[in-house]
Amino acid sequence: MTKKNRDALRRLNNLLHRDLGYFFAALIIAYSLSGIALNHVDEWNPDFIIRKTTLDFKRTYDRRTITEEDIAALSSKAGERSFRLYDFPSERQVKIYYRDATLLVDLEKGAGEYEKISRRPLFYQVNVLHRNSVEWWKWASDLFAATLIIITLTGMFMLRGRNGFSGRGKWLVTAGLIPPLIAVFLQQTR
Other CB atoms within a 10 A radius of the CB of residue 40 amount to: 10
Beta bridge partners, 106, equal: 93, 111
Q: Residue 53 or 166: which CB sits closer to another protein?
A: 53
Q: In the complex, what is the shortest distance from the CB of residue 167 to another protein, in angstroms, rounded to a whole number?
A: 46
- CA–chain centroid gap for 159, Å, is 35
Q: Distance between terminal CA atoms of the chain?
A: 49
User: Cβ of residue 190: shortest distance to another protein, in angstroms?
Assistant: 10
Binding site for another protein (CB under 8 A): 42, 47-48, 50, 84-85, 87, 89-90, 95, 97-102, 104, 115, 117, 119, 127-128, 131, 133, 135
Q: What does the CA dihedral 116, 117, 123, 126 come to, rounded to 10 degrees?
A: -170
CB of residue 122 to another protein, shortest distance in Å: 15
Smallest CA-to-CA distance from 37 within 128, 115, 101, 117 is with 128
Nearer to another protein, 11 or 84 (CB): 84
The DSSP secondary structure of 47-90, one letter per residue, reads SEEEEEEEEE-SS---GGG--HHHHHHHHHHTT-S--SEEEEEE
The residue among 61 and 98 lying less far from another protein, judged by its C-beta, is 98
Based on CB atoms, which residue is closest to another protein, 104 or 148? Answer: 104
Q: How far is the CB of 4 from another protein (least distance, A)?
A: 52
107 versus 151: smaller Cβ distance to another protein = 107
How far, in Å, CA of 157 to CA of 154, rounded?
Answer: 5
CB of 49 to another protein, least distance (A): 11
Give the residue from 88, 96, 89, 91 showing the smallest Cα distance to 113.
96
